[in-house]
Amino acid sequence: MEVNYKLEKVRELASGDDDFVTAIASAFLEEVPEAIIQINEGITNKNFHQVYQNAHKIKPTIQMFDIAILDDVLVLQDWGKFEKITDDVSVEQERVNAVIKAVVSELKSDFSL
């Protein structure tokens, strides 16, 4: 049940093709959790490029699924891009982790994946 995500943009892109919507949901499940792992490792290891690259990579997907953590993803992206070593991004990191975990669970349930 679409609680932490919305499918309007995905359905618009799919032009009524439910199999395509399912394929997009499946791609989300394959790509986004791995990118989150990479972001978390990058933050821990102060690997700015790794954080930037993975946050930038998931940004369009977050937008397409209308997930309410885009601002947090942008903070993480900028932390990596501008090497903001003195900035604490733990709140944004925790929020992104929690919401993505919820979305993954919802997508698996909603699409029987």
Query: For the chain, which residues make up each domain, given as ranges?
Result: 8-110
Instruction: Answer whether 0.75 is exceeded by the pTM.
Output: yes
- Which carries the bigger pLDDT value, residue 51 or residue 1? 51
pLDDT score recorded for residue 1: 67
Please tell me the distance from the alpha carbon of residue 27 to that of residue 41, in angstroms, as a whole number: 22
pLDDT, tens digit, for every residue of 87-107?
A: 999 999 999 999 999 999 999
Q: List for the chain the helix, strand, coil content (%; round to 5).
A: 75, 0, 25
What topology does CATH give the domain 8-110? Answer: Four Helix Bundle (Hemerythrin (Met), subunit A) (1.20.120)
Please tell me the distance from the alpha carbon of residue 41 to that of residue 47, in angstroms, as a whole number: 8
pLDDT score recorded for residue 106: 97
pLDDT, tens digit, for every residue of 18-74?
A: 999 999 999 999 999 999 999 999 999 999 999 999 999 999 999 999 999 999 999
